Amino acid sequence: MEAINWECDALNTGSDIFLMHAGFEDMVKPKYHDFVLLCYVAFGEGRHHIANKEFDISEGDIFIVNPNVVHYFSRTGRVEYPELYYCMISEKKAKSIFKEIKNDFPELKSFFDNSFLNYIYAKDNTNKEIRGLFVRMIDEFMTSPPGGRTLVQSYLTITMAKVFRRYLQAMNNPVFNRNKTVDQVIRYINYNLNYGVTLHDISDAFHLSEEYLCRLFKCHTGTTIKQFILNLRLDKIKDLLQNTDRSIESIAVSLGCGQEYLSRLFKKHTGMSLLEYRKKYHYKA
């Protein structure tokens, strides 16, 4: 497919930064752009094709793409499409941000000058730190309160620095820092969390007995597979309650369970109802 130019009208009329929360329908065909694109996978999963490479993407994946790099998204046969946070940054503004922080990241010189490394791929941490910053940027941008523009620029610089930090941490640390099989199991659980993944599913996927998997996982993580899945589910529920305005019904659907079950599960393990937790910890509270 021939790549087409993806233009951002707001940047063409003098703005330096434009943010939006959308699906990936705008990027299902190969495109390039004259701005720097910061992209965060907020929900769902799919595939990102970029610079002749392919990445299976899921929640918490982050890309920073330099100008004139051809890329696009596609689905992977799953039911759920990804929802993405986009931040388009004029080349002039991006260079200003890079100039401000590049001395802290000398390893990324070829990205800052777009001479060799033309995109960055990183993952958010378990606390969804980058996600939280992105949500606040979008909120300030959309509501435009006094001082909002200043806060957006500050959040963007902080976000960029943290993404670069996470990218370098991943490059400098081995992926399999526990045990290769355990690491792959954890990736599998994360990737399939929304589809009710079970120990039996994992056993079938890796052609290992459930007993062996349980012993191996407990040995290298200190917890059981069942507890690990439960903790991930609770963390995801908390993240959605804290950082989005999604309804309880929508959260239940995204996790592949009923609203009543979700409410019982959350109350049992946190001592708070879903609404009580949102009221106390939502970022606008």
pLDDT tens digits for range 169-192: 877 654 445 677 887 888 788 777
> Which two three-digit tokens encode residue 185?
């199991």
- Rounded Cα gap, residues 261 and 269, in angstroms: 12
Reported confidence tier of residue 56, pLDDT bands at 50, 70, 90: confident
Percent of the chain's residues with pLDDT above 70: 93
All structural domains of the chain, each given as residue ranges with its CATH number in brackets, are 4-172 (2.60.120.280), 180-281 (1.10.10.60)
The answer for residues whose C-beta is within 8 angstroms of residue 121's C-beta and 6 or more apart is: 55, 61, 62, 63, 167
Mean pLDDT of 274-279: 92
- pLDDT winner (highest mean) among 176-180, 232-236, 239-243, 270-274: 270-274
Match 């065909």 to its residue by tokens: 29
pLDDT of amino acid 235: 86
Return the H-helix or E-strand segment holding 181.
helix 180-192
pLDDT for 61 beyond 90? yes
pLDDT for 24 beyond 70? no
Q: What is the pLDDT of residues 95-120, one digit of tens each?
A: 999 999 988 988 898 899 888 889 99
pLDDT of amino acid 133: 93
Rg (CA), the chain: 20
- Rounded Cα gap, residues 45 and 35, in angstroms: 24
CA count, 13 A, side-chain hemisphere, 27 = 27
Do the Cβ atoms of 38 and 49 come closer than 8 Å? no
User: Which range is least confidently modeled, 32-36, 86-90, 164-168, 241-245?
Assistant: 241-245
- Rounded Cα gap, residues 117 and 155, in angstroms: 24
- Rounded Cα gap, residues 14 and 273, in angstroms: 46
- Rounded Cα gap, residues 240 and 131, in angstroms: 10
CA count, 13 A, side-chain hemisphere, 238 = 17
- Rounded Cα gap, residues 210 and 165, in angstroms: 37
Residue type, 30: P
- Rounded Cα gap, residues 237 and 231, in angstroms: 10
- Rounded Cα gap, residues 139 and 155, in angstroms: 11
Reported confidence tier of residue 21, pLDDT bands at 50, 70, 90: confident
- Rounded Cα gap, residues 91 and 82, in angstroms: 26
C-alpha 90: how far from chain center: 22
pLDDT of amino acid 80: 58
Q: What is the pLDDT of residues 190-216, one digit of tens each?
A: 777 777 788 998 998 889 999 999 999
Instruction: Name the residue with higher pLDDT: 41 or 81.
Output: 41
